[in-house]
Structure 1
Amino acid sequence: MQRYLRFPEVSKRTARSRTSIWRDVRANRFPAPRKIGPNAVAWLEEEIEAWCASRPIVSYHSEETVPLKCNQK
């Protein structure tokens, strides 16, 4: 079953601001939301999870990269 996330949850899970999210949506660097009502949008949870998994974190102390872990519920 698909679960939709509203903006506050997306922002919390990704630790990104409203401006950063919308800038990256427009640049096709972040999943686009779905229209769920006349004045409401939401993101598919699985797309946000996939985006988080695709983001590498580079440690300043080594060359090792690890995937970004998004905040959970």
Structure 2
Amino acid sequence: MRLIRLQEVMETTGLSRSCIYKYINAGKFPRNVPLGGSAVAWVESEVQEWVQEAVAARDDMLVCGSYV
């Protein structure tokens, strides 16, 4: 299991820091793992899975002919 820091999460998802934390608070993004002090990281595979689900949801909308 590989842990990635916020900068890499932002690069992987294209999301800003504030958007990532809004999604976490809304239960729509993987929670971070405390590393000690104020340091946190994310499980890389969970972030990659979130990206794959976002792409799949986009593709499902295209199949239905809707962008709602």
Partner deviation per Cα, 1:21-69 (whole Å, 9 max, x = no partner)? 00000010000000011110000001001101101335xxxx348xxxx
State the number of aligned residues: 61
Q: Secondary structure at the match of 2:49?
A: helix
Q: Which has the higher strand share?
A: 1
What TM-score comes out, normalization by structure 2 length? 0.80
Question: Where do 5+ consecutive residues of structure 1 fail to align?
Answer: 66-73
What TM-score comes out, normalization by structure 1 length? 0.75
- Which residue does 1:53 correspond to in 2? 52
Percent identity, aligned pairs only, is 32
Q: Which has the higher helix share?
A: 2
- The two structures, once aligned, show a CA RMSD in angstroms of 1.8
Q: Which runs of 4+ in 1 moved over 6 A?
A: none
